[in-house]
Structure 1
Amino acid sequence: MTIATLGLGGNIGNPPAAMAQALSTLALHDDCNLLAVSHLYSTPPWGKTDQADFFNCCAMIETTLAAVALLDLCLDIERDMKRVRLERWGPRTIDIDVLTFGDESIVTERVEIPHPRMTERGFVLLPLADIAPDIRVKGRDIVSWLSDADTTGIKRANEKREWWTLPFPEV
């Protein structure tokens, strides 16, 4: 079994409900065990800024899948939830990124782990610090990376860590 971390986000429709659905799908998958889910955060858009704010969270899973198979599972969940990729960093119903996969460093045409831009993104590091503050990426732990990250405008969007198991009002 390998411990992996995932970043989830979205800004179209009801992103908290979409992320909850994705987390439930992962939790029910035979090859995955959902270990922890971060708080839910409201985040200003990054990269392409002329769009609605995002909701973001991170999850920690234990899996028997190989890294590429985990990526494929995440992409399958996105497709099943009608994710359409029209523009880089553009609006989306759901996005699921494999952030880390054990302590492995993997670079192929299909996947790069640790996620190549995760240490630059406050919207990844803040929720990841909720569940995995001591994970080391590029020689530094998540809390150390977070201390250097821009978290301007990022707000906790819920009080309960179990947010993803609750009914969701329309956002």
Structure 2
Amino acid sequence: MSDRVTPPAEAARALRDIERLRAQGRASEQQSRWVGVVFGVAIFAELAAPDFFGDGVRSGISLAVTALIVAYAVMLRTPRGGALLGRPTRVRRSEISPRFARVAQMAIVAVVLLGFVGAPFLPDHLFPYAGTVAGAVLGATLILFGRGLQRGLNSLAMRGDGKHGMNGLAHGSR
């Protein structure tokens, strides 16, 4: 028997390699579980702290959460930080669906506007410990379902031809 590889066999091997790399790319776009836990606890702390320690802690806890968000954003931009967060690769910007990007931007703008317009009309306290309940629900949701939600959003954001795979979507180190 010959050691030569036939073109169909070589093509099949190349397709298997591409599918393996695509799966690695999708998996690398999911952050580590500990990141969701840290942000879930931060959300809980920010919403629950005023219920337990008074309104005086709002500015301090908000500053701490803002510092956490800035540190996260900076870490995502560096190779070591991305690896620590469990995201060693980045998706090429050109591979994100423009339609998804527009819808996501409009949703963010709508939530921000709704917050600014609706905030003055909300009562200060709906019921005792409302912040604690809201923080527990939001934090637990992020901790328990954050990876699944992220996986779903990533699949919606990916531009594709309807077939499985990423067609060069992810590229190596940052």
- Give the structure with higher Rg (CA): 2
TM-score normalised over the length of structure 2: 0.25
Higher relative contact order (Cα pairs below 8 Å, separated by 6+ residues): 2
> Which structure: greater strand fraction?
1
